[in-house]
C-alpha cells in the first residue's frame, strides 16, 4: 500500500495534524521521529534543516576576507545540513526516500519561509537527481482541528506554488550574495590597515539601519528655536472657556516649523496680549457632526506596533506570543500576514466567532460580542471583507476556539486582537465638533470642543479609548464648551504669552521603526495608504522583528527604554557606504523595490532569472566600489573631541579610521592618534573623550580577538619612551599579568574574609578580589584555589565592604548599577556565592508582583480528580469530558482552588544526580537541566547550542555531547515513575 508523507515545520504542528486527521484517516502509531497509519506518514523539521552554500570549487576557505577572491557569485548553490539539526534532517530524508511513500505534502508554515524550508529538504533528499515524487501544499490559516481537515480537503498544486517557491529561493540567494560579498568587502576595506574589523551588512538590515542613523543625524543637527503661543481665558454668562490665538490668514510655507498659532518673537506675543487684555470679544461658532471609524483589522506589523506602544513588547516578543496563540492555543489565525482584510466568503465564520465570544465566559469581552449579535452589526462590508486585499493570508483574528491557560502576556495580546476584531464591525463613533472663534479686533482666538455623542466602537475600549480619541488633548481641543448666546459679547479675563521651543524629530521606537520599514522610510500615517505601500516595504511582516533584533545583537543599535539609538559603529558603516557611493545598501526605498519584485515573482509577474541577474549586478558594483576606492579617508561628518591631545595639548579630531591630533591653532599635529575600533569595538564619541581626559576607560565589553573570541578589557593611554608619544593599550589588570608570569604576589591590604572554597584569606588584587591561594605567593608558589570575583561587574563597582558582607553572609546588599550586556538596561541584584557553580552569581530580589495564578480548571474536573484520588495524569484524563462543556459564568470554590503542583514524574538515578530526586514535569526538568549546564559552563564556546557533557551529564546523555533541541527528548526517557 502506498502512503503520503506530510512534512510539517515543527514537531508541535505535526502532532496537531495527527490529532486532526485521526477521526477521518484512522489511528496513528507513534515512532521515534514520525507518526504513521495506513494512509499517512507525518514527520517534521525543526525550522531550517538545510542552508545554501557556495559549491566546493567556488568556496574560498583561506583569504576569504581579502578583495582578491571577491565577488563570490557562484553559478548555482549547493546545500549543506544545519549542524545542530543533522539528526532530524536524516530522519525526515529517510521517510521521504521510502519506497512505499509515493507523494509528499508540504505542511510547513504558510509563507515564503515555510516554502523554502520544505523545498530545500526535498532537494537535499533527492541528492544529485530530483526526488521525483509529486508534491501538494497544505495551506493553513488556522490551527484548529477542523481548519486542518479543511486544508487537507483543499490542497494546493505544485503549479499554484511555483511563484512562491521561486521568490523564496531568490530571497535566500539574494541575501547570501549581498550579505557574503558586502560583509567580506566592507571587512576587507576596514581591515586593510591591519587588525580585523568585522563589518556586517545585509540586503535588508543595512537600509533599515540607515533609517535609524538618518533620524539620529537630524536630531543631532537640529537647532531649537524659541516661539510663543498666546493663551487666553474668556468669560461668558454661562462660565469661562480657554482659547488660543491664531492667524486666520496663515498659509503653509517652506518653514516646516511654522504654524498658524506660533509667533517668533516675545515682543510680538506681548503686544498681542496687551492689545486684547481686559477687552470684550465677539463670538462666532460652527458645530458639525463628525464620525471616527475603528482602525482596520491587524496584520502582523500593525499588531507589533500596537503592542509596542501599549505594552512595550518588542516586535520579536509580539511575534512569539502571536505564534504561540496560533500554534499552541489555536486561539488566533496565522500571524505572519501582511493583510488587514478577510475573504468575502468569511462572513459566516465571523458570526460564529462572535457567538463563541458571547458564550465564552470572558466577562470583559462577552457583553460586546452579544451587543454586536443582537444589533446585527456583523454584516457585509468592503472595508472588512475584500478578496482584492487578501494575499496568501488574511488579517489576524480570533479562531472559533476559546483559549484557556494563557500567560499574562498572551492574554494581553489576545485581548488586543479580539477587541480590534469586534471594533471593526461596530458603528463609527459619533462626535459633535464645535469650532468657536473669539475676536478682539484684529486678533482671533480659537477654541475647539469635541463631544462624544455615540461611542460606537469606542464602547469596547471604555475610558481607555475616550482618553486617546483624536483631538482629545488638553487646552484647545477636546473640552466641553460652556454655551455662548447669539450676539453675546464675552470678556477677556486673562491673556498669557507662553514661551516654548521647537523640538527635534523623535527617535524611533520599535513601533515607529516597524512603520518606517513597512513604508520603506516614507512617513505615512494613514492606514489605507500604508497598506498600498507595504509591498515596497523593507523585509516582510514575518522577518522585520528578526532584522531589528539582528541589528541590536551586532551592536549597531541600542535600546534605551523604548527608544532605539544607533551606535558609533552604525555611523561608521553609513559613512563608509555613502563614501563608497553604494546607494543600494543605504536607501530604504531602493531595497523596498527589491522586496516589491519578490512579491511580483510570487504572483508570476517577474522571472527568477531576471531578478537574480539584477542582484548579481548590484553585488559586483558594490565590491568594485570598495576595491577601487583609493583615497586615504572617507568623507563624512566627523566630531572634534573636547579633551585635548595628551602629548601636546592640541585639538583631537575624528576621521574615518582614527582620532588624531591636528595640533594647536597655527601648528601641526604631533602625530598622536588612536584607532576608532580597537579589536572590532567602535568608540562612542563620549568614550573617546573620557579616554583622553582620564587616560583610561572601562572595563568595556564587546571586543573580539583575532580568533573571533569576545573579551572585556580596560583601555589605557600610556607614554611610549621609544615613540616619544602616547599610545593605546589593553589593560587586563595586574592580577592577570602576575598569574601568567608566575611572579610572587605580596598582599598589602587587610583580609576581607574567608574564601568560600578553601577557607584562606581573600584580598584585593588588581581588578579582582582573589583567594590568597589563587595566585602565586611566597607561602605557596603554585596556586591551588580558583576563587576570584571582579571589582567591577557589568559596570557595577563592588566595594570592599560588599565583598566582606558576601564572604560573611553569602551575599551582598541589593546593588542597583548593573547594566545588562544584551539590553543595555540597568538592573538590581545581590551578588551571592553559588556553592554548586563554585563562583559568585546574581541573586534577584523577589518580584513585588505575585506570580499569575494558573488558570482554574472546571469545577467538575476538580471534583472528579478529588473523588477518585487519582494521580495528576489520570485526573487530567478524567477532566476532559467536563472541560469540553461550557464553563459556568460564576467561579465556584473548587474553581478557585489552586492547582496541585505534584503533576510530575520521578527522574532516573542518573538524572536525579543532576536535578534532584523530586518528581518533576518535563518542562521543569529541562529548566533545571539548563540551570545546571549554565552553572557549570558546559555550552560549547564555538556553538552555544551544543552541550558538552561532564561525568554526570554523560550518564544522562549516553554520549559526550548533545544539542539543545535534543534535551527534551533525552529527559523524557529519564522521567519514568509518576510523582
Which residues are catalytically annotated?
A: 334
All cell numbers assigned to 960: 559526550
C-alpha torsion 438→441→444→450, nearest 10: 10
Whether the Cβ atoms of residue 342 and residue 350 lie closer than 8 Å to each other: yes
CA–CA dist 547, 588 (Å, integer): 14
All cell numbers assigned to 709: 573570541
Q: 62-66 long-range CB contacts below 8 Å, 24 or more apart? A: 64/184, 65/184, 65/187, 65/188, 65/191, 65/196, 66/188
CA–CA dist 531, 144 (Å, integer): 28
Taking each helix axis from N to C terminus, what angle separates 300-311 and 510-518, rounded to the nearest 10 degrees?
160
Q: Collapsing DSSP states into helix, strand and coil, what is residue 89?
A: helix
Q: 256-263 long-range CB contacts below 8 Å, 24 or more apart? A: 257/225, 257/227, 257/502, 261/229, 261/446, 262/227, 262/228, 262/229, 263/227, 263/228, 263/229, 263/230
- At 572, phi and psi to the nearest 5? -65, -40
All cell numbers assigned to 427: 458603528
**Residue among 825, 799, 826 nearest 812 (CA):** 799
In DSSP terms, 287 is beta-bridged to 434
CA–CA dist 274, 278 (Å, integer): 9
Strand pairing category for 658-663 and 943-948: unpaired
- Dump strand ranges (E) for 870-917: 905-907
**Residue among 490, 495, 492 nearest 238 (CA):** 490
CA–CA dist 372, 368 (Å, integer): 6
Centroid of chain to Cα 129:
40
Which are the contacts of 907, defined by CB distance < 8 A and separation ≥ 6? Answer: 915, 916, 917, 919, 920, 925, 974, 975, 976
**Residue among 126, 79, 100 nearest 37 (CA):** 100
Whether the Cβ atoms of residue 875 and residue 865 lie closer than 8 Å to each other: yes
**Residue among 353, 319, 316, 311 nearest 335 (CA):** 319
Whether the Cβ atoms of residue 104 and residue 40 lie closer than 8 Å to each other: no
CA–CA dist 92, 44 (Å, integer): 7
CA–CA dist 514, 518 (Å, integer): 6
Residue with cell 481607555: 464
DSSP class of residue 332? B
- At 227, phi and psi to the nearest 5? -145, 170
CA–CA dist 437, 285 (Å, integer): 6
CA–CA dist 308, 569 (Å, integer): 26
What DSSP line would sit under 827-870, residue for residue? Answer: EEEEEEEETTTTEEEEEPPPPSSPPPPPPPPPHHHHHHHHHHT-
Strand pairing category for 696-704 and 710-720: antiparallel
CB-neighbour burial class of residue 235 (10 A; exposed 0-12, middle 13-18, buried 19+): middle
Amino acid at each position: 500500500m502506498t502512503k503520503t508523507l506530510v512534512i510539517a515545520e515543527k514537531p508541535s504542528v505535526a502532532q496537531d495534524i495527527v490529532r486532526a486527521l485521526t477521526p477521518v484517516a484512522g489511528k496513528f502509531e507513534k515512532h521515534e521521529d514520525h507518526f504513521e497509519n495506513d494512509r499517512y506518514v507525518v514527520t517534521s523539521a525543526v525550522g531550517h534543516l538545510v542552508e545554501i552554500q557556495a559549491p566546493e570549487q567556488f568556496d574560498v576557505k583561506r583569504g576569504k576576507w581579502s578583495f582578491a577572491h571577491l565577488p563570490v557569485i557562484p553559478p548555482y548553490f549547493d546545500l549543506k545540513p544545519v549542524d545542530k539539526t543533522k539528526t532530524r534532517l536524516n530522519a525526515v530524508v529517510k521517510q521521504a526516500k521510502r519506497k512505499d511513500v509515493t507523494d509528499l505534502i508540504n505542511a510547513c508554515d504558510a509563507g515564503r519561509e515555510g516554502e523554502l524550508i520544505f523545498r530545500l529538504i526535498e532537494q537535499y533528499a533527492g541528492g544529485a537527481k530530483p526526488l521525483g515524487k509529486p508534491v501538494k501544499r497544505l495551506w493553513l490559516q488556522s490551527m484548529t482541528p477542523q481548519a486542518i481537515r479543511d486544508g487537507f480537503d483543499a490542497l494546493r498544486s505544485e503549479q499554484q506554488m511555483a511563484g512562491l517557491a521561486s521568490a523564496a529561493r531568490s530571497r535566500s540567494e539574494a541575501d547570501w550574495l549581498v550579505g557574503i560579498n558586502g560583509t567580506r568587502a566592507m571587512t576587507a576595506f576596514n581591515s586593510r590597515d591591519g587588525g580585523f574589523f568585522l563589518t556586517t551588512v545585509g540586503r535588508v538590515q543595512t537600509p533599515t539601519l540607515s533609517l535609524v542613523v538618518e533620524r539620529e543625524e537630524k536630531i543631532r543637527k537640529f537647532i531649537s528655536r524659541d516661539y510663543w503661543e498666546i493663551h487666553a481665558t474668556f468669560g461668558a454668562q454661562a462660565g469661562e472657556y480657554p482659547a488660543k490665538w491664531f492667524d486666520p490668514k496663515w498659509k503653509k510655507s517652506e518653514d516646516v516649523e511654522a504654524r498658524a498659532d506660533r509667533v517668533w518673537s516675545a515682543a510680538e506675543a506681548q503686544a498681542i496680549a496687551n492689545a486684547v487684555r481686559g477687552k470684550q470679544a465677539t463670538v462666532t461658532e460652527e458645530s458639525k457632526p463628525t464620525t471616527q471609524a475603528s482602525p482596520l483589522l491587524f496584520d502582523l506589523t500593525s499588531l507589533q506596533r500596537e503592542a509596542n506602544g501599549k505594552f512595550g513588547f518588542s516586535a520579536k516578543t509580539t511575534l512569539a506570543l502571536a505564534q504561540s496563540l496560533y500554534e499552541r492555543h489555536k486561539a488566533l489565525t496565522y500571524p505572519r500576514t501582511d493583510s488587514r482584510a478577510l475573504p468575502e466568503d468569511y462572513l459566516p465564520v465571523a458570526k460564529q466567532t462572535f457567538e463563541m465570544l458571547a458564550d465564552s465566559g470572558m466577562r470583559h469581552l462577552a457583553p460586546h460580542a452579544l451587543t454586536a449579535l443582537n444589533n446585527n452589526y456583523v454584516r457585509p462590508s468592503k472595508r472588512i471583507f475584500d478578496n482584492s486585499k487578501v494575499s496568501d493570508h488574511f488579517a489576524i483574528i480570533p479562531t472559533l476556539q476559546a483559549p484557556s491557560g494563557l500567560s499574562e502576556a498572551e492574554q494581553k495580546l489576545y485581548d488586543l486582537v479580539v477587541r480590534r476584531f469586534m471594533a471593526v464591525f461596530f458603528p463609527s463613533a459619533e462626535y459633535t465638533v464645535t469650532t468657536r472663534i473669539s475676536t478682539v479686533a484684529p486678533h482671533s482666538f480659537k477654541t475647539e470642543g469635541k463631544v462624544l455623542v455615540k461611542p460606537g466602537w469606542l464602547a469596547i475600549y471604555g475610558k481607555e479609548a475616550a482618553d486617546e480619541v483624536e483631538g482629545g488633548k488638553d487646552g484647545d481641543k477636546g473640552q466641553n464648551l460652556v454655551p455662548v448666546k447669539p450676539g453675546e459679547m464675552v470678556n477677556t479675563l486673562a491673556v498669557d504669552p507662553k514661551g516654548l521651543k521647537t523640538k527635534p524629530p523623535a527617535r524611533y521606537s520599535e513601533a515607529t521603526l516597524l512603520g518606517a520599514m513597512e513604508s520603506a522610510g516614507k512617513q505615512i500615517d494613514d492606514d489605507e495608504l500604508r497598506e498600498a505601500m507595504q509591498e515596497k516595504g523593507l523585509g516582510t511582516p514575518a522577518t522585520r522583528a528578526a532584522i531589528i533584533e539582528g541589528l541590536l545583537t551586532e551592536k549597531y543599535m541600542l535600546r534605551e527604554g523604548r527608544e532605539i539609538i544607533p551606535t558609533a559603529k552604525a555611523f561608521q558603516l553609513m559613512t563608509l557606504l555613502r563614501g563608497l557611493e553604494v546607494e543600494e545598501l543605504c536607501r530604504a526605498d531602493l531595497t523596498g523595490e527589491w522586496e516589491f519584485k519578490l512579491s511580483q515573482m510570487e504572483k508570476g509577474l517577474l522571472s527568477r532569472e531576471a531578478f537574480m541577474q539584477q542582484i548579481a549586478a548590484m553585488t559586483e558594483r558594490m565590491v568594485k566600489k570598495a576595491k577601487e576606492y583609493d583615497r586615504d579617508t572617507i568623507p563624512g561628518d566627523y566630531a572634534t573631541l573636547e579633551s585635548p591631545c595628551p602629548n601636546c595639548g592640541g585639538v583631537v579630531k575624528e576621521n574615518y579610521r582614527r582620532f588624531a591630533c591636528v595640533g594647536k591653532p597655527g601648528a601641526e599635529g604631533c602625530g598622536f592618534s588612536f584607532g576608532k575600533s580597537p579589536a572590532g569595538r567602535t568608540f562612542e564619541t563620549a568614550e573617546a573623550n573620557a579616554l583622553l581626559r582620564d587616560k583610561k576607560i572601562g572595563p568595556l565589553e564587546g571586543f573580539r580577538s583575532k580568533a573571533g573570541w569576545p573579551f572585556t578589557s580596560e583601555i589605557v593611554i600610556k607614554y611610549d619612551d621609544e615613540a616619544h608619544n602616547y599610545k593605546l593599550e589593553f589593560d587586563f589588570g595586574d592580577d592577570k599579568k602576575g598569574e601568567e608570569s608566575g611572579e610572587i604576589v605580596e598582599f598589602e591590604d587587610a583580609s576581607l574574609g574567608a574564601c568560600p572554597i578553601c577557607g584562606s584569606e581573600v584580598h584585593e588584587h588588581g581588578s579582582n578580589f582573589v583567594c590568597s591561594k589563587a595566585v602565586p605567593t611566597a607561602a605557596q608558589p603554585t596556586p591551588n584555589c580558583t576563587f576570584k570575583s571582579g571589582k567591577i561587574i557589568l559596570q557595577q563597582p563592588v566595594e570592599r565592604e560588599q565583598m566582606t558582607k558576601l564572604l560573611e553572609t553569602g551575599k551582598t546588599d541589593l546593588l542597583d548599577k548593573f547594566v545588562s550586556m544584551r539590553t543595555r538596561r540597568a538592573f538590581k541584584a545581590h551578588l551571592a556565592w553559588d556553592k554548586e557553580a563554585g563562583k559568585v552569581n546574581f541573586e534577584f530580589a523577589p518580584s513585588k508582583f505575585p506570580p499569575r495564578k494558573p488558570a482554574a480548571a472546571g469545577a467538575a474536573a476538580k471534583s472528579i480528580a478529588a473523588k477518585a484520588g487519582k494521580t495528576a495524569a489520570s485526573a487530567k484524563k478524567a477532566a476532559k469530558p467536563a472541560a469540553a462543556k461550557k464553563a459556568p459564568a460564576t467561579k465556584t470554590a473548587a474553581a478557585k482552588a489552586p492547582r496541585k503542583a505534584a503533576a510530575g514524574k520521578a527522574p532516573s538515578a542518573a538524572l536525579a544526580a543532576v536535578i534532584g530526586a523530586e518528581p518533576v514535569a518535563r518542562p521543569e526538568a529541562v529548566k533545571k537541566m539548563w540551570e545546571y549546564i549554565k552553572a557549570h559552563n558546559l555550552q560549547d564556546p564555538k556553538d552555544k547550542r551544543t552541550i558538552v557533557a561532564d561525568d554526570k551529564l554523560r550518564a544522562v546523555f549516553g554520549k559526550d555531547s548533545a544539542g539543545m533541541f535534543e534535551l527534551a527528548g533525552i529527559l523524557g526517557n529519564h522521567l519514568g515513575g509518576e510523582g
